[in-house]
Structure 1
Amino acid sequence: MSILHQTKFFVSAAKLHQLPEASVPEVCFVGRSNVGKSSAINVLANQKRLAFSSKTPGRTRLINMFGVPNPQDTSRAMGFLVDLPGYGYASVAQNTREEWADVLGAYLRERESLAGIVLLIDIRRGVTDLDRRLAEWIAPTGIPVLALLTKADKLPYGQRVRAVFDVTKELKNIGALKVIPFSSTNRIGLEETTNEIVNWINPKDES
C-alpha cells in the first residue's frame, strides 16, 4: 500500500502566513480550473472525498494541505500534498483572479519546503498560454516538475504518446521535467505518478 493512502486533510489557508511552518517536503498540484486537480489527489490517496472538487470551476480559492503521515509516528506528517487554487477561469472577476495569482505565485516562489510541482494539463487541450507562462516562471527555480496530462482516457494510446512528445517539447525550458498521461477515472499513469511523488516526499523510499 502506498504511503499516500494514509493522507489526511490538514489545513486550509487563504494567505501564506496562515500555513504551518515549512518543515517537511511539500508537493503542490497546480493547473487550470477544472483540469482535475482534486480528482488526481483523491485517486492518488485512494480516497473519494479527500480533496473537494467544486462543480463550479474557479470557486476553490484556498490553499488546501493534506498530510502524509510518518509511518514511524503517525501523529506527525512526513510530507504534504498541497492543492493550490486553479487559474484561468474567465468568469471569475479580474481582481479575484489577480489575488489568486498572487497567492499561487508567492507559494511557488517563497515556500522553502517545496520539493516538487505537479502541473496538470488537459491532454485534449495541450499547453495553454497560462500553462506556458507558469512553466516559464517555474523553470529558473530548478524545482522538479511532473506534468500530468489529465483525462488521458479520452484519447487512444497513439495520441497519448504524441501528446507526451508535444508537451515535453513545449515545456523544454523546465530542466527537471517528466510528462505522464494520467486518468483518475481509468487509473492511467497512477503507479508511475505515485512513485514520483513518494520519492519527492521521502527520497529514501524506493517503492
Structure 2
Amino acid sequence: MIKVSKATFVTSAPTIKEAPPASMSEVAFLGRSNVGKSSLLNALTQRKNLAKSSATPGKTKLINFFDVVYKVDENIYPLRFVDLPGYGYAKTSKSLKNAWQKSLTEFLQKRESIRVFVHLIDARHPEMELDAQTRLFLQRIQRGDQKVIEVFTKADKLKQKERAKIKRLYPDALLISSMNKEGIEKLQEKILEHVFGNIQKTDSH
C-alpha cells in the first residue's frame, strides 16, 4: 500500500531563475488549462486543497513546487512535484505568451532534476493539436534517465467505447479519474518505480 506521509507547498516561481535549487528528484506535471491538474495533484498527495485550481483557466502563470514523501511499508520515497502552468488558454498578449513559452521550454530542457514528465490530456478530447505538439516536444527533449507518462484525465466521463479507443491508440497511457480515484495508485507506482527502482509493495488485500 502506497501512503503519503508528507505533502507540503514549497514555493511559487514566476520564472525559471526563481525556481528553488534542484535538490531532489522532480516530477513535472504539464497539460492544457482546465485538464484537471490541481485535482490530480491533490489525489496523488491525498490532500484536499494542496494544489488550488484557478477559477479562470490559464490564469496561473507560476511554477508551483510541492514536496511529497511517499511511504511503502517502512520505506520512504521523497519527491518534489513541479506544477507547470496550463497551456493554450491564457488571454495574454502574443509577445508575453511567447516569452513565457520560451522560459517554460528552457526550464523543461535544462532542469536536470526532472526525472518524470506527467503529460495530462483530457480524455474527452484525446486528439487535440496542442497535446500532439506537447507529446512531440517531450519526445524530443527526453533524456535517457527521464520517463514520460501520459495520463488521460476525467476518465469517469467516458463511455466504454471511448475508453477502448484510447487504450488502443495509447497502450502505455493511464486512464485516470480524480473523482473516483481510478488509476491514481497505478500512477504513483509508475513514478516511484522509475525514480527509485523496483519498490517492495505488500499486497493490501
Q: TM-score range by the shorter chain?
A: 0.7 to 0.9
Change (3 A) 1:40 1:201: same
What's the C-alpha RMSD, in Å, of the aligned pairs? 2.2
Cα deviation, residue 200, structure 1: 3.4
1:154 aligns with 2:152: no
Cα shift readout 1:88-140 (whole Å, capped 9, x = no counterpart)? 01533323322331232112100001101000001111132121112212113
Quick one: which amino acid aligns to residue 92 of structure 2?
V
Q: TM-score, normalised by structure 2?
A: 0.85
- The Cα of 1:5 is off from its aligned counterpart by 5.1
Matched with 1:111 is: 111
CA contact (8 A) 1:64 1:83 kept: yes
Alignment CA distance shift 1:204-1:166 (3 Å): closer
Quote the offset at 1:165 in angstroms: 2.1
Q: Secondary structure at the match of 1:89?
A: coil
Tell whether the 8 Å contact from 1:27 to 1:117 is kept in structure 2 after alignment: yes
* Equivalent position SS for 1:64: strand
What CA distance in whole angstroms lies between the structure 2 residues aligned with 1:127 and 1:206? 36
Provide structure 1 residue ranges, at least 5 long, that are not aligned to the other structure: 72-76, 169-177
Sequence identity percentage = 37
What are the Cα deviations for residues 18-60 of structure 1, in whole angstroms up to 9, with x where unaligned? Answer: 1222231100100001101111000111111100100100011
TM-score (norm 1): 0.85
What are the Cα deviations for residues 119-168 of structure 1, in whole angstroms up to 9, with x where unaligned? 00011111321211122121132431111101100012342121122245
CA distance in 2 between counterparts of 1:5 and 1:179 reads 27
- Distance in 2 (alpha carbons) for counterparts of 1:4 and 1:116: 18
Alignment match, 2:98: 98
Q: Give 5+ residue unaligned stretches, structure 2.
A: 72-76
Report the Cα offset of residue 70 of structure 1. 7.8
Counterpart position of 2:63: 63
Letter in 1 for 2:148: V
Partner Cα distance (1:120, 1:58) in 2:
15
Tell me whether 1:21 sits opposite 2:21 in the alignment: yes
Runs of 4+, deviation exceeding 4 Å: none
Looking at structure 2, the residues matched to 127 and 150 of structure 1 have their Cα atoms a distance apart, in angstroms, of: 13
Query: What number of residue pairs does the alignment pair up?
Result: 194
Shift of 1:179: 0.2
Relative to structure 1, the CA distance from residue 154 to residue 148 in structure 2 (aligned partners, 3 Å threshold; closer, same or farther) is: same
